[in-house]
Amino acid sequence: MSELFDAVDALVASRSPLPPPAERRRLRQGHGLTLDEVAAALRVRRATVSGWEAGRTEPRPPERDAYARMLKQLAELYPANVPVQTEDTAVPQTAAVAAAATPSAVEPAQARTAPTDSEAEPVNTVRRPPAPASAAVSRRPPAQAARTGAPVGGADPRFENGPLAVVDAAEGEVLAYCVGGLVLDVPAKTIAALVDWTLREARLGQPKLSGPGQDADPLLVLTEAALERYGLPVTLTKEERLAGRLAQGHKVIKQLTRAHWQLTKRGFGPWARIYRPAQGTERACVQLCIPSWDALDARHWADAGQLPPADLARLLGTYASRVMTPRGSTAVTGLELMTALHPPTRASQPDAEGKRRSEHNPGSLGREPVDCAPCEAPDGHPLLADLPRFHRRTPAEVLMEEAYDWARPLTDTECLHPHLVGIDVNMAFAAGANGLTVGLGAPTHVTNPVFDAKLPGSWLVDLSHVDLSRVKVAKDTWAHLDASLLPSPFTPRGERPTGPAWYATPTVAYAVELGYDVCPLEAYVRHDHGRYLDGWYQRLRDAYLATMAGLGVEPDLSPREFLAAMDGYRHRDPELAIVVSAIKATVKGGIGKLRERPRGEDWRPGQPWRALARPTWRPDIRAAVISRTRINMHRKIVKHAAFTGRYPVAVLSDCAVYASEGPSPLDFLPYRDGKPLPGGFKLGINPGLVKHEGTQSVLWGEGVREQFNAPDLNLARYIKDGTVTDADSGE
């Protein structure tokens, strides 16, 4: 008989209503239980319990029965009219937040709160005014937005729901997850209707970054479930991947055409832009991001595309608020950020009739592209169409400003040291862009010019006479160094130049700084110039520092505190660590896009390619940034060698490897009274300072070189984790 009673009790429990989501959390916290403890008892994931408490999902048998039993017992211990102490919340709850613990009776039925897996993110929320009609909004958790840096709502009411939303479909409904925990109900049944709803009701977007600029278009990220709901493939076919877009005859594209929506030349691909021609100053454009079509490159975004919708909205929202709403890959976004901060045109002053016209915005690159100098043109450029086929240009014909890839054998003394320690320059290319004067207009060709370090351009000059065994390290102070242990600052491979070659202004200026005269033979200089990249650098610097601070790495830490804070920082918040990687990729990719090469397009050498039509196709600016970055690295190497007698054994771009008695950078970086060598390497998180890249043994380094019979194998490439493959070594 007892078995029958148990069965009846279980049947009744399976149909009994559960407390509201906020009450579930209140009861758990009142008993001092954590999400992990409840999840372990019910044999489910922590995120599952978090979802139940947030109201996103409901428990199902058999877990539902046990969960209902637990809540019933807790409700007897902690009645609703008795306040309980919630001690598992990292963010103190104010009286205003506590007062909002119980949902308002007038809250719309479709309003909801996105789930969170963090104990530091209370669901007690502050009510926001509802969005119109079907875009009714939920209450937003303020603590979550404070922790992630995502905006809780902009001052501009047009974009009060943030810059973007992740659209997901589940159980017969479509939801748009916005930043800060906000969720919108989406009534749209087709992609065309989704675009229309976004522009009319979703209140998504981002204010412009510069006065003459444009507001950022709303971004919708479509999950796999959303793709299926709207009739789109979850993955592209091989042919579509090669083309980078859906076939033109796809039914969704036909739907958009019937609704009078248009696609850019990019087509309906991983980063599709759907628009109608602007009416006056009003834009009608929505961008789609489709992670399952490889929109979020795993090299820069890791597994972001696999995150739950609310987490992905948090991650992308943090990036958007600190950098800008993504416009494509990190490289595309890096380039678009330059234009957003320095729009090509602005409104003129009113004329006699009070009308304003579009005019050139000073300090920008303008609206029209300019030709590069012949020496700055990459192979296959139309300027080089008359060169013989398979002609290989010499340094006297082409500007070769690239990052370092240099290594040398260890000396006998270095082989006695037990460790190889790598140090890496933070945001090296961003630091190279900081304060750099670059050309804004077309080049002017001059012969036998007098070198001017303040004039950006490309110079044909012989620097083979620069002797690194005797260099000037300060005013009237010369140092004697072992030049055989140093890379040349004038070539990417570190080889000493043998005759005239083309160099960007920072490289030639460094030869003068080292104490040597220069006599250029000819040059392409840009008299119209400015510090175009300063705002770009400052925004990316601030984004990087703010995100690293969220991971516990502050700018004002001592060297030892900094090394300790950097140890395992990615594990403190893996999603925020992805934002760091994306910011770094935005820097490098944006600089690389300044000299974008042909990407298919049925291109043939000597013919123009699509990127040449952009005002931001500027190989001279890319060369200047890379030149400055390489020179910055060499300057630190020289100062370090002059002061300590230590030389790098390998340099790869922004990473240098030194033989050391100990495994830490502090074992070979000179500090006196807590202060580093002026002009040398300094530990810290700011761009231009260095962090610990990795440590391996000298035996490991020599073993790898012996294994692949490569005495000059660049160990900086593998110093981080010590992994070397046959493909890496060139075998």
Partners of 185 in beta bridges = 175
Q: How far apart are the first and last CA of the chain?
A: 76
Mean per-residue pLDDT, 422-450 = 97
Q: How confident is the model at residue 1 (pLDDT cuts 50, 70, 90)?
A: low
Is pLDDT at 185 greater than 70 in this prediction? yes
What DSSP string runs through 512-558?
HHTT-----SEEEE-SSEE-TTHHHHHHHHHHHHHHHHHTT--TT--
DSSP E strand stretches across 653-723: 655-660, 671-672, 675-676, 690-697
What sign does the dihedral 19-24-26-27 (CA atoms) show?
Answer: positive
Instruction: Check residue 349 and give its pLDDT.
Output: 86
Mean pLDDT on 34-48: 81
Residue 132 has pLDDT above 60, yes or no: no
Q: What's the pLDDT score for residue 37?
A: 83
Q: Rounded CA gap, 560 and 544, in Å?
A: 21
* Strongest mean pLDDT among 138-142, 168-172, 363-367: 363-367
Tell me the C-alpha distance between 714 and 729, whole Å: 9
**601: number of Cβ within 10 Å:** 10
Residue 644's pLDDT is 93
- Residue 142 in this model has a pLDDT that exceeds 50: no
pLDDT bin (cut points 50, 70, 90) of residue 205 is very high
Q: What is the mean pLDDT of residues 457-463?
A: 98
State the average pLDDT for the chain: 86
pLDDT for position 117: 38
pLDDT of residue 99: 32
Match 């309980």 to its residue by tokens. 84
Task: Return the closest-CA partner of residue 142 out of 130, 134, 133, 151.
Answer: 151
The predicted pLDDT at position 137 comes to 39
Residue 355 and residue 579 in contact, taking contact as beta carbons nearer than 8 Å? no
* HSE (side-chain half, CA atoms, 13 Å) at 72: 11
Whether the pLDDT of residue 104 is over 50: the answer is no
Of 26-30, 100-104, 579-583, give the lowest mean pLDDT range.
100-104
* Confidence band for 27, pLDDT divided at 50, 70 and 90: confident
Give the whole-angstrom CA distance, residue 579 versus residue 575. 7
Does residue 155 have a pLDDT over 80? Answer: no
Q: Model confidence over 502-560: pLDDT tens digits?
A: 999 999 999 999 999 999 999 999 999 999 999 999 999 999 999 999 999 999 999 99
Nearest C-alpha neighbor of 118 from the set 24, 223, 32, 34: 34
CA–CA gap between residue 664 and residue 644 (Å, rounded): 16
**According to the model, what pLDDT value does residue 347 have?**
87
Alpha helices in 198-237 (DSSP H): 224-229
Contact between 413 and 606 (Cβ < 8 Å): no
**Amino acid, res. 12:** V
- Structure-model confidence comparison of residues 216 and 98, the more confident one: 216
Q: Alpha-carbon distance 667 to 645, whole Å?
A: 14
Domain ranges within the chain, ordered by starting residue: 2-77, 104-328, 374-402+433-530
The phi and psi torsions of 632 (rounded to 5 degrees) equal: -60, -40
Distance CA 420, CA 715 (A): 9
Long-range pairs, 718-724, Cβ under 8 A, ≥24 = 719/420, 719/421, 719/422, 719/650, 719/655, 719/657, 719/693, 719/694, 719/695, 720/422, 720/693, 720/694, 721/694, 722/694, 722/696
Residue 102: pLDDT over 80:
no
- The two tokens of residue 259 are 């609704």
Q: According to the per-residue pLDDT averaged within each range, which of 67-76, 106-115, 354-363, 681-690 is highest?
A: 681-690
Cα–Cα distance for residue pair 154/174, rounded to 1 Å: 25
Is the pLDDT assigned to residue 75 strictly greater than 80? yes
Which residue matches tokens 């390489």?
A: 630
Top pLDDT among 710 and 505 is at 505
Query: What is the bridge-based pairing of β-strands 477-480 and 470-474?
Result: antiparallel
Band of residue 130 on the pLDDT scale cut at 50, 70, 90: very low
**What is the percentage of the chain residues whose pLDDT exceeds 70?**
86
Query: Treating both helix axes as pointing N-terminal to C-terminal, what angle do 35-42 and 46-54 enclose, rounded to 10 degrees?
Result: 110
Is residue 24 within 8 A of residue 53, CB to CB? The reply is: yes
Range 18-38 average pLDDT:
85
**Residue 421 pLDDT:** 98
**Residue 81: how many other CB atoms lie within 10 Å:** 5
Region 18-29: mean pLDDT is 86
Which pLDDT tens digit goes with each residue over 571-589?
999 999 999 999 999 999 9
In which band, very low, low, confident or very high, does the pLDDT at 368 lie, cut at 50, 70 and 90? very high
Give which of 173, 170, 86, 160 is closest to 123, Cα–Cα. 86
Position 671 scores a pLDDT of 84
Give, in order, the Cα–Cα distances in Å from 129 to each of 151, 201, 268: 16, 14, 35
Q: What is the dihedral of CA 537, 538, 542, 544, to 10 degrees?
A: 10
Q: How far apart are CA 613 and CA 264, in angstroms?
A: 15
Taking residue 542's Cβ as centre, other Cβ atoms within 10 Å add up to 12
Q: Is the pLDDT of residue 89 over 60?
A: no
pLDDT tens, residue by residue, 612-670 = 999 999 999 999 999 999 999 999 999 999 999 999 999 999 999 999 999 999 999 98
Helix (H), strand (E) at residue 419: strand 419-425
Closest CA to 369 of 623, 604, 619: 619
Query: How large is the average pLDDT for residues 265-275?
Result: 95
pLDDT at 110 exceeding the cut of 50: no
Q: Express each pLDDT in 284-312 by its tens digit.
A: 999 999 999 999 999 999 999 999 999 99
Q: What is the H or E stretch that residue 626 is in?
A: helix 619-644
> So what's the architecture of 2-77 in CATH?
Orthogonal Bundle (1.10)
What is the average per-residue pLDDT within 385-414? 95
Over residues 266-280, the mean pLDDT reads 90
User: Could you read off the pLDDT of 312-336 as tens digits, one per residue?
Assistant: 999 999 999 999 999 999 999 999 9
User: In angstroms, rounded to a whole number, what is the distance separating the alpha carbons of residues 252 and 248?
Assistant: 9
Residue 173 backbone phi and psi in degrees, to 5: -135, 160
The predicted structure's pLDDT at residue 86: 43
| pLDDT at residue 475 greater than cutoff 90 | no
Q: Give the distance from CA 422 to its chain's centroid.
A: 23
- The CA–CA distances, whole Å, from 608 to 373, 597, 613, 617, 621 equal 15, 10, 9, 12, 20
